[in-house]
Amino acid sequence: MCTNALADPPEQRQRRLDAIALAATPAGFDQVVAAQTSVLLAPSSAADPAIAGLFRAMAQAVGPEGFARQQRAIMARPDSRPGLAAIACPTLVLCGALDTLTPPDLHRTLAEAIPAARLEIVPDSGHLTPIERPDPVSAALSSWLREG
């Protein structure tokens, strides 16, 4: 769900390092969270006070140290595409139609590489699909579980 099988390219790695450095400064983490709101959420979700507020609360709970750990873990992610064809279990690949971090095209490629994978694209949702559109996500998961 809202994922990527690719390793970070050098320019993305540098953006992550820059964000980690900014987040470590006194007012920097708030700047990172504010900037991430429009990156992670679809426009309608970013404009929704409940959804945007939940995202900000989640980010504050993670804090700058947790954010740095998350970013470093993502930077260490290997290219896992070579192993996708070996996946033999039922697989649901799900993403938001407006996800700019891991766009639907990445998910299509992922689903095509996994034998018998099912792709679900949730309309009007960004990278945080479960909090942006919980009902369609629940419906997709329920349907997939019933069929699997």
CATH class entry, domain 81-147:
alpha beta
Q: Work out the average pLDDT over 144-148.
A: 90
* Per-residue pLDDT tens digits for 123-142: 999 999 999 999 999 999 99
φ, ψ (nearest 5 deg) of residue 2: 50, 60
Helix pair angle (28-40, 49-75), 10° resolution: 100
Q: Are 97 and 45 contacting, i.e. CB atoms less than 8 angstroms apart?
A: no
> CA–CA separation, 70 vs 77, rounded Å?
11
* Per-residue pLDDT tens digits for 84-123: 999 999 999 999 999 999 999 999 999 999 999 999 999 9
CA dihedral 128, 131, 132, 135 (to 10 degrees): 130
Q: What is the DSSP letter of 103?
A: -
pLDDT at 148 over 80: no
pLDDT at 82 over 90: yes
Question: Is the sign of the CA dihedral 15, 21, 27, 30 positive or negative?
Answer: positive
Task: Give the pLDDT score at 11.
Answer: 96
% of the chain surpassing 70 pLDDT? 100
Share the mean pLDDT of the chain.
Answer: 97
